């Protein structure tokens, strides 16, 4: 049995037992795996994150209930420690101010699109 993290793009990553948002560890099978996993930890991929515990196979994630679901996370660190073959990941939840800023930016984008549409008529 193992713990897994499912990224927004559907990538499933095996993680060490006892992970917290600020300390997620993935033991890389080889250097290519470590670079791949570290590269997958992007703002878009942590915008929705699911954690699964005590799962037998990574494929079972699709039919299991997540132990935790997080939205709107921020990457605080993501790097591959080559000597230890460990990918170290740190995340945190967005603050209320950051969430409001995101909403304002989305609203502004909608207004810009509407103005562009009207200008084309």
Q: Are strands 48-55 and 2-6 parallel, antiparallel or unpaired?
A: antiparallel
Mean pLDDT of the region 59-76:
93
- Contact status, residue 26 vs residue 86, Cβ threshold 8 Å: yes
pLDDT category, 16, cuts 50, 70, 90? very high
- Tokens 């570290």 sit on residue: 38
DSSP 94-110: PPHHHHHHHHHHHHHHH
In this predicted model, which residue has the larger pLDDT, 94 or 120?
Answer: 94
Query: Which spans in 1-95 are helix H?
Result: 31-40
- Cβ atoms of 28 and 78 within 8 Å: the answer is no
Provide the percentage of residues in the chain whose pLDDT is more than 70: 100
Mean pLDDT of 58-79: 93
Is the per-residue pLDDT at 120 higher than 90?
A: no
Give the residue, 85 or 116, on which the prediction is more confident.
Answer: 85
């Amino acid at each position: 049995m193992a713990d897994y993290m499912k990224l927004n793009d559907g990538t499933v990553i095996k993680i060490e037992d006892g992970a917290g948002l600020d300390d997620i560890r993935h033991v890389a099978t080889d250097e290519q795996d470590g670079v791949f996993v570290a590269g997958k930890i992007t703002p878009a991929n942590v915008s929705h994150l699911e954690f699964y515990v005590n799962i037998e196979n990574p494929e079972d994630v699709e039919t299991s209930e997540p132990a935790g679901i997080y939205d709107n996370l921020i990457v605080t660190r993501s790097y591959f420690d080559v000597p230890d073959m460990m990918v170290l990941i740190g995340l945190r939840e967005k603050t209320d101010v950051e969430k409001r800023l995101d909403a304002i930016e989305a609203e502004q984008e909608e207004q810009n699109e509407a103005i562009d549409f009207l200008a084309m008529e």
